[in-house]
Amino acid sequence: MELSKFFKSVLEQDTAPVVICDLEHTVVYMNPASISRYHTDLTGKSLKACHNADSNAKIDRVVAWFAKSKDNNIVYTSRNDKENKDVYMVALRDAGGTLIGYYEKHEYRNQETRSLYAEIGG
Considering the entire predicted model, what is its pTM? 0.89
Which of 3.30.450.20, 3.40.50.2020, 3.90.550.10, 3.40.50.970 is the CATH number of 17-108? Answer: 3.30.450.20
pLDDT tens per residue, the chain (122 residues)?
Answer: 677 889 999 999 999 999 999 999 999 999 999 999 999 999 999 999 999 999 999 999 999 999 999 999 999 999 999 999 999 999 999 999 999 999 999 999 988 888 888 888 86
Of 61, 88, 65, which Cα lies nearest the Cα of 77?
A: 88
Q: What is the pLDDT of residue 1?
A: 62
Domain ranges of the chain: 17-108
> What pLDDT score was predicted for residue 103?
97
Q: Which amino acid is at 7?
A: F
35: left (phi over 0), alpha (psi -120 to 50) or beta: alpha
